Amino acid sequence: MAREVFLFALVVCAGTAGELCVSRAMKTLGEVTNFHPAVLFSVVLRSLRLKWMWFGLALMTTAFFSLLWVLAIANVSLVVPVTAISYVAGTVGGKFFLRERVTRKRWVGVALVTVGVTLVLIGRS
């Protein structure tokens, strides 16, 4: 059981932290205003020079393999609601790590999305 809990925590925390790091890297690069393919290619290359991008990619890879592992040892019906918590974790991370202003309205939306995603995935499995 301790192993499952650890893997669940790793899926949610590493996945969310990875996306937050990618978000931070992109905010550091600045707003993209030109969508020419050459410019987009240059943006991708410049993002790869940022440590936040590499942290993010490493954490997202960790989360992906942890998810594969947890799916192999735990019941899908248990895995799904836990991974849907990522929406709440992401919003908390956005508020404190990226200093985003999360209004009550956005919180209500995030809570509804979390419940909805859980029901969709339960209904499919």
Partner 1 sequence: MVCFFPRETAHSCLSRALLKNSRLSTQPLCAKSMNASRDLYFKTYSSILVMVFFGPLGNVLLGKGMKHIGAVAAQSPKDAIHTLMLIFTSSTIWLGIASLITFFIAYMLVLSWADYSYVQPASSIAYGAAAVLAHLLLKEVISPTRWLGVIIICLGVFFVTGTPPRTTEHPDGA
Is 8 or 19 the residue whose CB approaches partner 1 more closely?
19
Q: How far apart are CA 1 and CA 3, in angstroms?
A: 5
User: Where does 48-103 have alpha helices with state H?
Assistant: 51-73, 76-84, 86-96
**Residues 42 to 71: which contact partner 1 by CB under 8 A?**
43-44, 47
Report the residue from 11, 23, 59, 83 that binds partner 1 according to the rule CB under 8 A: 23
Is 4 or 121 the residue whose CB approaches partner 1 more closely?
121
Q: How far apart are CA 41 and CA 21, in angstroms?
A: 20
Smallest separation (angstroms) from partner 1 to the CB of 2:
29
Which DSSP helix (H) or strand (E) runs through 32?
A: none
Contact residues toward partner 1 (CB under 8 A) are 19-20, 22-24, 26-32, 35, 40, 43-44, 47, 86-87, 90-91, 93-95, 98-103, 105-106, 108-124
